[in-house]
Amino acid sequence: MALTTGFLHKKWYVLSILIMILTAFFSEGYHHPDEHFQILEFANYKLGLTKIQDLPWEFTAQCRSAVQPFLGYLVARLLQVVGLYNPFVLITLLRLCMGLLSWYVYISLYKRLQPTFVDRFGSKLFEFVLLFLWFIPYISVRFSAESLAAICFFGALLHILDVELYQKVANVKLVWAGFLLGILLFVRLQMGFAILGLGIWLIFIQKTKLKHIALLALGASLAIGTSVLIDHWFYNQWVFTPYNYFDVNIIKNVAAQFGVMPWWYYFKAFFDKGVPPICVIIMLFYVISLFKYYKNPMAIISVLFLLGHMAVGHKELRFLFPIAIAVLYMSCMGLDYVLSVYPKINKINLPLKVAFVVNTALIMFRTFTPANETIPYFRYIYHASNTPNTVLVCMQKSIYNDGHIESNFYKPKHLQVIVVQNLEEFDQLVAQNPEKKILYFSDHQHPEQQMQHHVFHRLYSLFPDWILANNINDWQSRSDIWGIYQVAIKH
């Protein structure tokens, strides 16, 4: 298997951490609005930069823990103290911390699990997957509940494996592991399915000592107490957010309002969003591994996690992100088993090489493209509206509104955003504010074609001028070409 060549060399670790850092810098924005509105806007509220009426409904329901917003708040306050705060520096720093923590946890996990492989290729493939699989850096740098849940869970598992498999006697390790598992219940309650799987392995398979269980419970109790205090700081009253979350989304079934999917949704979504042959290889060998290594903790954890999410009506593929590493490990174990039984098999060489080429293209794309294309516009507006008399005008909908709620995190505090409904309102606004610096956000390239009374100077667009200068086959009429313009009255 020629693909093993060179993977022991330290340069692969250097390359992988470079990819993680680059992804943290370039993958701006959020994968899902929850990543923004239920974390960053919550932190922004405690900073005094988001009004309470602009927070999502989860704030009133008190069903979201403040643990992660608290972390964002602490970093923001530190940046304010040293005079470096702006929202783009803050979220880039948070993504960078998430990426580096994830990298450390994944590499440490590989070192613990490497002895479980029989075939050298299976072991090195798992190393490659952890370092270079196309979506791993992307989801790892997200300052989201899913990504922090993965760090906490696998960080706890590292210490548990040290004690249970390698007999490294250290009470502190188990207390710290329990603390991370306790935090999980606040960061992402659904990780309870994974904790249940881990508990089954510890009690029924590993026959863990009662003392070790007690130490884990002690750490979890400390985490729960700490999280309750943080939630009190945020909501200004005593609340137990995990119960509120369960009550709102499960008992009162509010989550179902966002869509109910059939039990097999995740299998369809995996192949819809995954990329062949990568997704096919992962699923095939994952299933094989479950039959051979059903007592493996990663098997029990991943199966119970998947079954638990299949039982819940509202489903999204991102809900499975926290357990992706467990699935990938079991998939590599499945391939490892096949190679150990059939060492001369060569039929998988071609699919693996195709997957390698496809993965290389995908990771390059995912590393250097933003998760959300509005962020570069927010950055330009933030720096362009450096005077108190700046007005940003939007037609019918604010650029800061995602369709449901207004975002304040990236909005300069002194910027006045005015939404006009028609051209007449726009004309009046410009005429009545001659002393103002008026910026106009347009979702198409030529606003002057509709607004003949004004001069528009394009200040910013994601598309460079040399691309916009070429309208071959009128491609621009079929594209959303956003732009920020400065407006002046024609004389």
Amino acid letter, residue 65: S
Tokens of 50: 């988001």
Q: How many domains does the structure of the chain reveal? A: 2
Query: Residues near 461 by Cβ (< 8 Å), separated by ≥ 6?
Result: 445, 468, 481, 482, 483, 484
In a shared domain, residues 51 and 87: yes
Within 10 angstroms of residue 389's Cβ, the number of other Cβ atoms is 12
In a shared domain, residues 357 and 447: no
Cis ω before 115 (30° cut-off from 0) = no
Indicate the range of 176-190, 306-320, 432-446 predicted with least confidence. Answer: 432-446
Identify the residue with better confidence: 468 or 39: 39
Indicate the range of 17-21, 75-79, 399-403, 442-446 predicted with least confidence. Answer: 442-446
pTM listed for this prediction: 0.93
Q: What is the pLDDT of residue 5?
A: 43
170-189: pLDDT as tens digits: 789 999 999 999 999 999 99
In a shared domain, residues 197 and 296: yes
Last residue of a domain, one of 368, 396, 414: 368
In a shared domain, residues 344 and 392: no
The answer to whether residue 91 is domain-embedded is yes
Q: What is the pLDDT of residue 309?
A: 96
Q: Which of 258, 257, 250, 244 is nearest to 60 (CA)?
A: 244
Identify the residue with better confidence: 444 or 109: 109
The answer to whether residue 112 is domain-embedded is yes
Indicate the range of 214-223, 291-300, 387-396, 401-410 predicted with least confidence. Answer: 401-410
In a shared domain, residues 311 and 385: no
In a shared domain, residues 256 and 276: yes
Q: What is the pLDDT of residue 107?
A: 94
Angle between helices 120-132 and 11-26 (to 10 degrees): 30
The answer to whether residue 3 is domain-embedded is no
In a shared domain, residues 157 and 303: yes
Query: Residues near 20 by Cβ (< 8 Å), separated by ≥ 6?
Result: 99, 100, 102, 103, 137, 140, 141
CA distance 192 to 424: 55
By percentage, how much of the chain surpasses pLDDT 70? 93
In a shared domain, residues 314 and 193: yes
332-363: pLDDT as tens digits: 999 999 988 887 776 677 888 899 999 999 99
The answer to whether residue 164 is domain-embedded is yes
The answer to whether residue 71 is domain-embedded is yes
The answer to whether the CB of 117 falls within 8 A of the CB of 126 is yes
In a shared domain, residues 100 and 67: yes
Identify the residue with better confidence: 95 or 471: 95
The answer to whether residue 40 is domain-embedded is yes
In a shared domain, residues 390 and 364: no
The answer to whether residue 2 is domain-embedded is no
| Host domain of residue 54 | 9-368
Using H for helix, E for strand and C for coil, what is the string for the chain? CHHHCCCCCCHHHHHHHHHHHHHHHHCCCCCCHHHHHHHHHHHHHHCCCCCHHHCCHHHHHCCCCCHHHHHHHHHHHHHHHCCCCCHHHHHHHHHHHHHHHHHHHHHHHHHHHHHHCCCHHHHHHHHHHHHHCCCHHHHHCCCCHHHHHHHHHHHHHHHHHHHHCCCCCCHHHHHHHHHHHHHHHHHCHHHHHHHHHHHHHHHHHCCCCHHHHHHHHHHHHHHHHHHHHHHHHHHCCCCCHHHHHHHHHHHCCHHHHHCCCCCCHHHHHHHHHCCCCHHHHHHHHHHHHHHHCCCCHHHHHHHHHHHHHHHCCCCCHHHHHHHHHHHHHHHHHHHHHHHHHCCCCCCCHHHHHHHHHHHHHHHHHHHHCCCCCCHHHHHHHHHHCCCCCEEEEEECCCCCECCCCECCCCCCCCCEEEEECCHHHHHHHHHHCCCCEEEEEECCCCHHHCCCCEEEEEEECCCCHHHHCCCHHHHHHHCCCCEEEEEEECC
Last residue of a domain, one of 303, 335, 368: 368
The answer to whether residue 160 is domain-embedded is yes
In a shared domain, residues 425 and 278: no
Q: What is the mean pLDDT of residues 244-248?
A: 95
Q: Which of 322, 362, 370, 357 is nearest to 23 (CA)?
A: 370
Amino acid letter, residue 369: T
Q: Does pLDDT of 377 surpass 80?
A: yes
Share the mean pLDDT of the chain.
Answer: 91
2-11: pLDDT as tens digits: 444 444 558 8
Last residue of a domain, one of 304, 334, 368: 368
In a shared domain, residues 357 and 381: no
